[in-house]
Amino acid sequence: MSTPTSEPDLGRSPEALLRELREEGIHDARVLAALARVPRHAFVPPHLLPHAYEDRPLPIGHGQTISQPYIVALSTEALALRPLDRALEIGTGSGYQTAILAELAGEVYTVERVPELAASAEERLRTLGYTNVRFRVGDGTLGWPEEAPFDAILVTAAAPRVPNPLLAQLAPGGRMVIPVGGRVSQELVLVRRDGDRWVQRRLCPCTFVPLIGEEGWT
Ligand code: SAM
């Protein structure tokens, strides 16, 4: 007698999540296609699989979270990535947002301060076949000066202010998305470098875990 193989219960379908994101105003076809290609359930702890395709952040251990899909989609849309862009991400976490960036940019550099999260994200992304991502463990508030400048910078933890090293590492015409504000709630901000001017635009209110480091929270 053969035993039936059981598929993991993923709760809602990926398609239902994508429909919800479209209804919430995400329209960029390349971003939606990237979200459709990256399996969010590969980035969440096993006991949270039934929640993988809900539009909310989920715990990933070490007091950190995988970001809410809507915020991932909105941030990625605002970065307006082109296929040859070099992108810097601060806060690798589970690696989910990293994978979305790797789908749309030429090269992705990602920095995480918790070594265990960086190691598991790196293994996960290698298993999924991403070859255009470089990982570093350290304080991302200082950026990755050896590889600067970057066409796009995405900070996935909340900063008290935009770190100066990140402003300096943005290429002319470059875009940065970063949550800025208090420890509990923030505004997601888009910064565009126009020559030697940095122009800011607010995208939406948000809640992220704190960015801890020399140019962040202590
Ligand atoms: N985008 C990630 C994902 O999809 O899984 C979620 C990132 S989580 C909201 C924020 C991450 O930023 C955490 O993993 C945290 O350890 C990291 N972090 C906080 N301060 C940092 C810093 N100074 N440098 C690098 N990473 C930092």
Q: How many domains does the chain have?
A: 1
Q: How far apart are CA 114 and CA 29, in angstroms?
A: 33
pLDDT beyond 60 at 3? no
Whether 187 maps to a domain, the answer reads: yes
pLDDT of residue 179: 98
Q: How far apart are CA 177 and CA 190, in angstroms?
A: 5
State the average pLDDT over residues 128-134.
Answer: 98
Whether 102 maps to a domain, the answer reads: yes
Mean pLDDT estimate for the chain? 96
Cα-based angle 69, 74, 75 (whole degrees, multiple of 5): 100
Whether 23 maps to a domain, the answer reads: no
Is the entire prediction scored with pTM above 0.85? yes
pLDDT beyond 70 at 4? no
pLDDT confidence band for 5 (50 / 70 / 90): low
Q: Which two tokens stand for residue 196?
A: 């030697």
Whether 30 maps to a domain, the answer reads: no
Closest Cα partner for 176 from 216, 149, 136?
149
pLDDT per residue as tens digits for the range 136-194 = 999 999 999 999 999 999 999 999 999 999 999 999 999 999 999 999 999 999 999 99
Whether 36 maps to a domain, the answer reads: no
Whether 38 maps to a domain, the answer reads: no
Question: In which domain, by residue range, is 202 found?
Answer: 61-206
What are the Cα distances from residue 178, in Å, to 104, 122, 130, 212? Answer: 19, 23, 24, 14
State the average pLDDT over residues 58-77.
Answer: 97
Just list the catalytic residues. Answer: 67
Place of tokens 């006991």: 47
State the average pLDDT over residues 94-101.
Answer: 98
CATH number where 159 lies: 3.40.50.150
Question: What is the CB < 6 Å shell around ligand 1?
Answer: 64-67, 90-91, 93-94, 96-97, 111-114, 117, 139-141, 156-157, 208-209, 211-213, 216
pLDDT confidence band for 115 (50 / 70 / 90): very high
Give the distance (Å) from ligand 1 centre to CA of residue 13: 26
Whether 85 maps to a domain, the answer reads: yes
Whether 22 maps to a domain, the answer reads: no
* Omega prior to 14 cis, within 30 of 0: no
